[in-house]
Chain A
Amino acid sequence: MSDRRDPLRVEYGAGGDGPRVVRQPPPPGAASFAATYVVPGGWAFDPTHREGVARVVSESMISAAGAWDRMELARRLDRAGATLSSQASPESAEVTIWGPASEWGPLTQLLAEVVRRPRFAADDIGRVVRQIRERQLREITQPGSRADRELLRRIYPGGHPYGVSGLGTARSIARLTRADLVKFHRERYLDAAGLFVATGPESLEAVERRAAQLFGKATGSEAPWPFSGAPAGRSGGVHRVPMAGRSQVEVRLGGPSIPRSDPRYPAAFLANEVLGGRPLLGRLFQRVRERSGLAYHASSELEAMRFGGYWVAHAGTGADRWRRVVPMVRSEVVRVGATNVAAGELDAIRESAIGEIPLSLETTTEAHELAVDLAYHRLPADTWVGWPAVLRGISPGEVRDAARVALDPDQAVTVIAGPLGAH
C-alpha cells in the first residue's frame, strides 16, 4: 500500500470522467494547497504571424473570468489569501492557484473559471500587450537576456520554439485580435487534453471528483508536436554583441541537448551538476569565481524538455575580464565530457543532489513544482522516491558519456554580450 502522506510519492488518477489527475500529499505541517492546470498551450503552437499569442493568452486570462472582472477577481484572491499565476513555455502553459487548504473548494472553482471562461476584455489584452512589448525591448537591451536570446536563436534557428522566448515581435503582437486569443484558448485550453495536479490534504478520489466536476472531460487528445527532427543550428562560432554603456559582460556557451525521456537523462543531469548546475560545488563556480575571482555568477543549466532540450553555461564578468573567462568556461565544458569525473567529486555532487530533496519539500509551492514536473513528463509515481538510488547507480564513465551527448562542446555556440571594450 502506498504511503499517502509522503509528498515525494504522487498518485495518478484512474482516468475517469475528467482531465488526467495527479495528487500529491502536502508537506508536513503545511496549511496550504496548490493546484495547477496544464495544457499543451505553449508558444510552439503560435500560428504564423501571430507569434506571442500563447503568452498573451496565458497572461491575460488570469485577469478576469466568468462573472468576475479584474477587480472582483483580485479581491477574491486577496480575501482568501491566495495567489493566482500563469506561465507559458515552448511546449505547454499552466495556471496555478495557491492558498489556504481550507479554501480548496472556492479556490479550485476560481481556477476553473479562469481556465475555462476567461473574459479576454479589451483593456486586459491591451495592458498585457503593452507589458510584453516592454519585455521585448528589454530582451534586446539587457546584456543577460540579449545573450540568452542570441544563443538560443542560434541553437534552434528558424523560429523553432526552443529558440525564441515566446514574446513574439512588435508587429506580431500588435496584430493580435481578441478573436485570435479566443481561438487559441479554445483549441489549446478547452479542446486539448489537460492535466490537473493538486498538492494538499484532499484524497485522490476527492481530487478526481473535483477535477471532473470543474473541467469536464476534454475530448481532445495529446497535441502533436509541430516540430520534428534535430535542430538545424549552426554549430560552433563565437558571436559578439557589443553593448556600450553597460557595466557587465554576459557570457553564454550552449548547445542542443537531449529530451527528458532520454534514458541517459539521469547521467546527463549529473554531468550538468558537475559542470555548474550544483550551486557552489559546480566546476564553473569553483574555477571562475572561487579560484580565479573573475565573476560573480558562473553556472550551467540543462533544459531537458519533452521533445528536445538545450544546455547553457553562464557567467557574468567585467569588460576587462571576459577574454579570460570565455576559454575557461569552454575548457570546463570540454573536460566534463573528455575525462571521467573523480569518484570523490561525483560522490559529493550526487549526495548533495540527494540530500537536498527534503529542502524541496519545505513548502507546498516547492513540493508542488516537483509534482507538476513529474506529471508533465509522465514519470512513474515514485520517481522522486527512487531518485537517490538512480543517481547512486551512475558511474563516472556514464556521466562522461552522457556529457558528450548532452553537453557537447563541438556543437556549442558562444555568445558574449555587453561592454566588450575596444578590441
Chain B
Amino acid sequence: MSSTAFRPAVRRFSLPNGLRVVLAPSDDSPTASVWVWYRVGSKNERPGITGASHWVEHMLFQGSPKYGKGEIDRAVVGVGGALNAFTDTDFTAYFTTVPRAHLAVPLDIEADRMTRAKIEDAEVERERTVIHSEREGNENWPEFRVEEELYQLAFRHHPYRWDALGRRLDIEQMTPEELRDYYRTYYGPKNATLVIAGGFDLRPTEREVRRRFSRIPGTGASVEVADVEPAATGPRQSDLAGPGTTPYVEVGWRAPALDDPATPATMLIDALLGGETRLFAAGSFWGRSGEHPTSRLYRALVDPGLAVRAGSDWRPRTYPSLFTVHALAARGVRLERLEAAIDRAVGRLARDGPTASEMRELRTKIERGRALAYEGATRVGFRLGYFETVGPPGLEDRLYNTLRRTSAKEVRERARSLFDRQHRVTVRYSPAPERSDE
C-alpha cells in the first residue's frame, strides 16, 4: 500500500534519573506535541483515597514554582496551544500540543511540575467541588452508573473495583496531605515517560530535554499491585433503577492482562463482536466512533430491533480486567430478551468460532486502520506514549504481528474460555417511571 501515515522513526533514551524519553520528529509538522505519561492510576489507590490519581491530575494545573495558578493554561493557550490530561486505571497522561515554534513552553511546564507541584490546601478545597461536579456530570448518565456498579461487582479485592474518578465519600474526605503524599510517592522521572512528537529538530531538542529534566531528582515509584482478585465462584448480578427511559444492560467476563498470551485473541473477539479495532483503528485514540454494522452484536441485537445500540469493550490493562458487552434496549424490549440475545451471540462465537471470511476482513481492517493511525503530532504522541507506558518495548509490533497470525481456531478456543458463565457479571438498569411532557 502506497498511502500510509505510519509510525515515524523515534529516538529513545533514558536520563540518569530514570526518565524515559521518546523523540519522534517530523520535519513538515506545523505542531509539536509533548506528552508525559506517569505509571500511576487508580490501581495505585486504596479505599479512603480512591480518586487520588485523578485529583492529583487536576492539581498539576494549579501551581508549581514557576507557574502560579492559571499560568499553565495562559502560557499554553496564549500561544495557540491545547492542553489536557486524563487518568486511567494504569496511567495518568498529560499532553500539550503547540505550534512548533513554541515547543519550549510545554517542556518548561512539565519539568517544573514533575516533582514540584504545590498542591496547596486552599486549592485542594476549591478543586474538591470541581471534582464533585465532574463526578455528578457522569452520574447523570445511566451508562456510567452501570459501569461503576459492574466493576464493583466483579472485583472484591483488586483496585480495579473503583472508577478513576473515585468514590463520592473519598472525594469528600480526602485531605490535602494525603494528596501531597500520593504525589510525592508516584510522581517523578523514575515513573514517567516523556514523548515529543511533531515539528522539531532532533539534536537541539534532545539537548534541551537533557538540560531541563536531568536536574530533577530521581524519584517516583512504579508500584506493583499486590492484591490479586480470586477467581469468581459463580455469576453475579445487580439491578439498578433510576432516571431515564431506556433499559440498559452490561455484561462482563474476566479478561486477561495485557502481557497474557491470550490478549491478541481477546482483541479479535472484541473486534468481531463489537466492531472496534481499538489501538489499530485509523483516525482516533481508542477507536472509531459510530456504528459497526458488520459486527456480530450489531447483527444480533440492533438489526432485528432488540437494541438501538450494542457493542463490546476491552482495553489492555496491566492486570486482569473485564471484557464487557453492552446493549441499550429498543422501545418495548425487555432486558431478559437482550441478555438472551447477548448470550446467544457470544455462545455462537465460542461454539463455532469466526468464519474464514470474518478473519480475512478483520485482518484487512486492522492493517488499513494501522496505516492511518499515526496522522498528526498529537496522535503520534499518544500512541508512542501509550505503548511505552502500558507494555514492554516492542509491544505494538508484537501485538500487531500476533493479531495477524492468530487463527480462527485460537479465537474460538479463547472465546470458550472467556465466556465462562461462572465469571459472568451482569448489571441491569431499569428506568424509573417519571412524568414526561411528550
Contact = CB atoms under 8 A, between A and B. Distances in A.
A281 interface: yes
B78 A286 contact: no
A368 to B, nearest CB: 12
Interface string B363-398: 011011101100111110000000000000000000
B79 A352 contact: yes
Given A78-B361, A81-B369, A169-B438, A296 B133 contact: yes
Interface string B205-242: 00000000000000000000000000000000000001
A170 B245 CA distance: 14
B305 A127 contact: yes
Contacts of B331: 130, 133-134
B5 interface: yes
Interface in A1-38: 27-32
B245 A138 contact: yes
B305 A279 contact: no
A83 B77 contact: no
Contact of A30 (B1, B368, B375): B375
B244 A141 contact: yes
Contact of B368 (A28, A78, A169, A365): A78
- How many B residues touch the partner, as a band? 35 or more
Contact of B30 (A31, A81, A131, A358): A358
B246 A321 contact: no
B243 A290 contact: no
B80 A246 contact: no
Contacts of A79: 361, 364-365, 368
Contact of B282 (A81, A245, A248, A353): A81
Interface stretch (B148-156, B186-194, B288-296): B288-296
B355 interface: no
Nearest to A123: B303
A170 B73 CA distance: 45
Contacts of B361: 75, 78-79
Nearest to B364: A79
A83 B245 contact: no
Interface string B338-375: 00000000000000000000000100110111011001
- How many A residues touch the partner, as a band? 35 or more
A74 B97 CA distance: 34
Given A29-B5, A130-B331, A134-B331, A81 B288 contact: no
B173 interface: no
Nearest to B373: A81
A61 interface: no
Contacts of A126: 305
A97 interface: no
A194 interface: no
Question: Which of B79, B100, B140 gathers the greatest number of chain A CB atoms within 10 Å?
Answer: B140
Interface in A37-65: 63
A100 B364 CA distance: 14
Contact of B77 (A144, A281, A296): A281
Interface in B292-310: 292-294, 302-303, 305, 308-309
Contacts of B28: 28-29
Contacts of A290: 69-70
B78 A355 contact: yes
A182 to B, nearest CB: 22
Given A79-B368, A127-B305, A143-B140, A137 B245 contact: yes
B16 interface: no
B48 interface: no
B81 A356 contact: yes
Question: Which of A101, A130, A317 gathers the greatest number of chain B CB atoms within 10 Å?
Answer: A130
B42 interface: no
A297 B78 contact: no
Contacts of B260: none
Interface string B108-139: 00000000000000000111111111111101
A356 B141 CA distance: 32
A81 B283 CA distance: 10
A236 to B, nearest CB: 22
A78 B365 contact: yes
Interface in A342-371: 348, 351-359, 361-366
Contacts of B290: 83, 85
B31 A359 contact: yes
Contacts of A364: 375
A247 interface: yes
Contacts of B432: 245
Nearest to A281: B77
A291 B98 CA distance: 26
Interface of A: 27-32, 63, 70-71, 74-75, 78-81, 83, 85, 98-103, 123, 126-127, 130-131, 133-134, 136-138, 140-144, 169-170, 243-248, 278-281, 286, 289-290, 292-297, 316-318, 321, 348, 351-359, 361-366, 418
Interface of B: 1-5, 26, 28-31, 69-70, 73-74, 76-83, 97-100, 102, 125-137, 139-141, 242-246, 282-283, 288, 290, 292-294, 302-303, 305, 308-309, 328, 330-331, 361, 364-365, 367-369, 371-372, 375-379, 431-432, 434, 436-438
Q: Identify the 4 closest CB pairs spanning chains A and B, nearest first.
A: A355-B80, A81-B368, A102-B3, A293-B126
16 contacts: A30-B5, A74-B293, A81-B368, A100-B1, A102-B1, A103-B3, A127-B302, A130-B330, A133-B308, A138-B246, A248-B140, A281-B78, A316-B136, A318-B129, A361-B30, A363-B375
